[in-house]
Amino acid sequence: MTSQAVRLFRKMDGLFAVYKPQGVHWKHVRDSTESNLLKALNSCPPPAPQLAVQFQLLSGGENSSSTDVVLSPSMVPTLADHPLVTGPQFHKVHVGVGHRLDAFSSGVLVLGVGKGNGVLEHLCNSHVTRDYTLEGEFGKATDNFTHTGRVIEKTTYDHVTLDKLERVLAMIQGANQKALIMYSQVDLHTQEAYELAVRGLLYPHGKSPPILTGLRCIHFNPPHFTLEVQCVNETQKYLRKLIHEVGLELRTSAVCSGVRRTRDGPFKVENALTRQHWTASSIIQAIAHFSKVTRKIRKSGMYKQTAGQLNSSAQVQEQTRSQTEQINQEHVELSSSTSDTVVDRETPVTLSEGRTKH
Give the tens place of pLDDT for each residue, 22-41. Answer: 999 999 999 999 999 999 99
Any idea which of 108-112, 184-188, 308-312, 329-333 has the lowest mean pLDDT?
308-312
Query: Which band of pLDDT confidence, cut at 50, 70 and 90, is reported for residue 90?
Result: confident
Question: Contact at 8 Å (CB) between 170 and 201?
Answer: no
Identify whether 102 is a catalytic site residue. Answer: yes
CATH architecture of 129-264: 2-Layer Sandwich (3.30)
Question: Contact at 8 Å (CB) between 89 and 5?
Answer: yes
Average pLDDT for residues 315-327, to the nearest whole number? 57
Query: Which band of pLDDT confidence, cut at 50, 70 and 90, is reported for residue 246?
Result: very high
Domain boundaries, the chain: 129-264
Rounded Cα–Cα distance for residues 79 and 353 (Å): 112
**Is the model's pLDDT at 299 over the cut of 90?**
no
Residue spans of beta strands (DSSP E) within 222-307: 224-232, 254-264, 267-268
* Chain centre distance of CA 26: 14
**Is the model's pLDDT at 286 over the cut of 70?**
yes
**Is the model's pLDDT at 330 over the cut of 70?**
no
Question: Contact at 8 Å (CB) between 38 and 90?
Answer: yes
CB crowding 172-190: b at 16 or more within 10 Å, else e: bbeebbebbeebbebeeee
Any idea which of 25-34, 42-51, 92-101 has the lowest mean pLDDT?
42-51
Any idea which of 38-47, 231-240, 281-290, 341-350 has the lowest mean pLDDT?
341-350
CA atoms 194, 195, 198, 199: torsion sign: negative
Q: Closest Cα to residue 137, out of 122, 151, 123, 120?
A: 151
pLDDT at 176: 92
Any idea which of 178-182, 229-233, 252-256 has the lowest mean pLDDT?
178-182
**Type of residue found at 238:** Y
Q: 102, 131, 163, 264: which one is catalytic?
A: 102
Q: Closest Cα to residue 180, out of 122, 121, 233?
A: 233
**Is the model's pLDDT at 235 over the cut of 80?**
yes
Rounded Cα–Cα distance for residues 267 and 290 (Å): 9
